[in-house]
């Protein structure tokens, strides 16, 4: 339960950052690229909060990146219009309407940063646990 709460808190904070970016940044690299880097972290936290954080963190990171890639390719085929939701702004914003290779790179960079963060966290946590065990 403790891990699940941590991921929920992180999710809320990341969503708040994404909202600030969406409301204040227009047509610049922060919105175009950094927002896509951060969004994979939000989805990762959402998945971990549902799963309880008791799984292979690297697999979850890669799964989230795969999901982001699928959504991006669905934008390429204009899925919103194909399923008849193109006239609803909410779905156009949620799913997206334009494919960009740069977005795939942003998702990949966000995933690499997430994996590096997981690696560092695990190393630091192992060092802490070893210090508590030593006499």
Reading the block at residue 66, the tokens are 């795969």
How many whole angstroms separate alpha carbon 24 and alpha carbon 98? 21
- What would the pLDDT profile of 73-117 be if each residue is shown by its tens digit? 999 999 999 999 989 988 888 888 889 999 999 999 999 999 999
Domain boundaries, the chain: 2-133
pTM score: 0.87
Least trusted range by pLDDT, from 1-5, 6-10, 105-109:
1-5
Q: Which residues contact 111 (CB under 8 A, 6 or more apart)?
A: 40, 61, 62, 64, 65
Do 22 and 96 form a contact (C-beta atoms < 8 A)?
Answer: no
- Is the pLDDT reported for residue 135 higher than 60? no
Do 24 and 93 form a contact (C-beta atoms < 8 A)?
Answer: no
How many whole angstroms separate alpha carbon 122 and alpha carbon 130? 12
How many whole angstroms separate alpha carbon 20 and alpha carbon 75? 24
pLDDT-derived band of residue 33, with 50, 70 and 90 as boundaries?
very high
Q: Give burial (CB, 10 Å; 0-12/13-18/19+) of 104.
A: middle
């Amino acid at each position: 339960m403790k891990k699940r709460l941590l991921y929920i808190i992180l999710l809320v904070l990341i969503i708040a950052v994404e909202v600030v970016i969406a409301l204040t940044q227009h047509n610049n690299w922060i919105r175009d690229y950094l927002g896509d880097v951060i969004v994979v972290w939000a989805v990762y936290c959402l998945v971990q909060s549902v799963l309880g954080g008791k799984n292979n963190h690297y697999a979850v990171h890669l799964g989230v990146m795969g999901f982001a890639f699928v959504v991006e390719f669905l934008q390429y085929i204009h899925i919103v219009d194909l399923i008849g939701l193109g006239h609803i702004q909410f779905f156009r914003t949620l799913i997206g309407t334009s494919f960009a290779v740069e977005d795939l790179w942003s998702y990949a960079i966000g995933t690499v940063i997430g994996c590096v963060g997981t690696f560092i966290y695990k190393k630091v946590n192992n060092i802490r646990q070893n210090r508590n065990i030593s006499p």
